[in-house]
A and B are shown apart, each in its own frame.
Chain A
Amino acid sequence: MSVELIVFFALAALAVGGALSLIFQRHPIHSALSLIVVMIALAGLYLLMGAEFVAAVQIIVYGGAIMVLFVFVIMLLNAGVEERTNMSKLAGYAGIPLALALTSFLAAALTRSSDAVQASAATGTAAPTKALAMLLFQDFVYPFELTSFLILVAILGAIVLAQRETSR
């Protein structure tokens, strides 16, 4: 039981606990906080695997910008506790077993595909940022420029959506 394994199980428990809390909390702000916990746990897992730049980007962008956006919207819209609705029984009784089946199919398919690599350890070499940058700006420069265009389109869309509220 090496230290890495203990840390892995702790972070995995934190992530799964956060996801369960996301499902079972009734107030959206608590769900948002649980999702932030999941993201931080995942960043810890990325650090454990040696992907340090992705871990930092995950916290800065996902945890520090996208989730802040979510929290802002929840605060602005004054979202309250979810009301109890009569959800269809079919969704309740058939949904959960089907979701379990989906999870196990995914796990089995993906694990089988990685078995071929002799169950190699997932704590590989540290990924230097320089190598990532070389790859991003040389081989993947076209998708990179496209994503910057995508962000521009998203900004324009958000501005147009916000304007339509006030211009009536």
Chain B
Amino acid sequence: MIDFLNAHAELLINLVKTALLLFIVLTVNAYLTWFERKVVAHMQSRWGPHRVGPHGLLQPLADGVKFLFKEDPTPAGVDKFVYYMAPLLALALALTSIAVIPFGPDPIRVFGRDIYLGITDLNIGILALFAITALGVYGVALAGWSSNSKYPLLGGLRSSAQMISYELALTMSVVGVLLMAGSFSLRDIIANQQNTPGLFGWHGIFSWNIFAGPFPQILGFLCFFVAAIAETNRVPFDLPEAESELVAGFHTEYASFKFAMFFIAEYTSMITVSALCSILFFGGWLSPFPAAWTFTHYLPSIILIPFGFWVIWDGIRYETVFGRIILPGIGTAMAAVGIALLLFPTVNEFIQAPFWLLSKILVFLFIYVWMRGTLPRLRYDQLMDFGWKLLLPVSLANVVITAGAILWWGKP
């Protein structure tokens, strides 16, 4: 038994990592929907979900149960194979893109084996993500076409035309970062940002790609972020799937579980894009503070302990009995984790990198949700004009200027 485990250790470790990451991503997806509904609601001066479980925390569970038990009709005249395959394709591609993202630099040593955080590190990391994004167009186009109805067809065609238009600007805006890093691999890009001296020799926030180098990649970041929002069909670029426009666009004829698959695919690609933004332009898992300031290593504990106590205090005064039990429990767990980090310095050091990466991902997810709550949507011809006439030339100009700057001043 032990020999079998030892012989196939690599495979088993990868399998366990994949299953764990899948579970974590799906849970984060579910709570991302809760986060979005709460934040958009508070921006609109209302409460959002707050009945199902304390502060609406069990709302994703209720939604999941609804998706499982709702009737799942198949319209007449659809092309059965393509109709069933399109949401599967979209979901599979979105979940595959999580495999390329690294979550931490140092491995965990277990039984003499190094387990790196993140499933793999490809030499062509960024290109693999672009390949997956390119294939994602099919999920939308085939869903729209196979539904045998005019609204989905139009929505699908528009949505896929939008996606392939913004794909160009997306890939071009990253080339500046690739020129500075000299490699496609995501770990190399972060390592390059670690070694860059940045402005005034400060290694913290000023060595990130957005501020450092011969040409700060601010233009590249803006182009990337806007193009990525268009790629994931989110507000303000969600005309093809908005409720008031084309009924529901390409997923009109999809009910319960198949719609849930599209839903999960969209939120997962949001998470991937946020991770990419933080890795490519904002230093990934690097701390914004210079390495000499070791007191900043206590930041996770400084955040967790007071927040845990506040959750306990809020939970004690909650209206329902269930909330009065659960919320203090969650608060205690958070405070306990914070105190444990203070007591075990090696774990604290290890947790720094994933902590910063996850915080940056959270900031970008908040910006995504913020834009959903506040911005109106673009009309379709305005959308296509913006993509081809503004975003693509600007990202090309960014490539040319970055290349010129590197040739003139050399990489630092």
Residues of A within 8 A of B (CB): 27, 29-30, 33, 36, 43, 52-53, 55-57, 59-60, 63-65, 68, 71-72, 75-76, 126, 129
A10 to chain B, nearest CB (A): 16
The answer to whether B82 touches A33 (Cβ under 8 A) is yes
**Set A36, A63, A64, A75: member contacting B157, Cβ < 8 A:** A75
**Set B123, B130, B137, B142: member contacting A126, Cβ < 8 A:** B123
Q: How far is the CA of A76 from the CA of B124 in the complex (A)?
A: 35
The answer to whether A53 touches B127 (Cβ under 8 A) is yes
Q: Could you say which of A57, A60, A129 has the most chain B C-beta atoms within 10 Å of its C-beta?
A: A60
Residues of B within 8 A of A (CB): 79, 81-82, 122-124, 127-128, 130-131, 133-135, 137-138, 141-142, 145, 153, 156-157, 160-161, 164, 167, 171, 184
**10 sample A-B contacts, Cβ–Cβ < 8 Å, listed by A number:** A27-B79, A30-B81, A33-B142, A55-B124, A56-B124, A56-B131, A57-B127, A68-B138, A68-B141, A71-B142
Q: How far is the CA of A72 from the CA of B140 in the complex (A)?
A: 12
Do most interface residues of chain B lie in helix, strand or loop, or is the interface mixed? helix
The answer to whether B157 touches A68 (Cβ under 8 A) is no
A72 to chain B, nearest CB (A): 7
The answer to whether B141 touches A75 (Cβ under 8 A) is yes
How many contacting A-B pairs (Cβ < 8 A)?
65
The answer to whether A129 touches B138 (Cβ under 8 A) is no
The answer to whether B164 touches A68 (Cβ under 8 A) is yes
B6 to chain A, nearest CB (A): 17
Q: How far is the CA of A75 from the CA of B352 in the complex (A)?
A: 50
A77 to chain B, nearest CB (A): 12
Specify which chain B residues have a CB less than 8 angstroms from the CB of A60 in the assembled complex: 127, 130-131, 134, 171
Do most interface residues of chain A lie in helix, strand or loop, or is the interface mixed? helix
Q: Which 4 A-B pairs have the closest CB atoms?
A: A64-B134, A56-B127, A59-B131, A75-B145
Q: Which residue of A lies closest to B127 (CB)?
A: A56
Specify which chain B residues have a CB less than 8 angstroms from the CB of A126 in the assembled complex: 123
Q: Could you say which of B124, B127, B131 has the most chain A C-beta atoms within 10 Å of its C-beta?
A: B131
Q: How far is the CA of A57 from the CA of B153 in the complex (A)?
A: 29
Q: Could you say which of A52, A56, A126 has the most chain B C-beta atoms within 10 Å of its C-beta?
A: A56
**Set B82, B131, B171: member contacting A29, Cβ < 8 A:** B82
Specify which chain A residues have a CB less than 8 angstroms from the CB of B167 in the assembled complex: 64
**Set B79, B127, B134, B184: member contacting A65, Cβ < 8 A:** B134
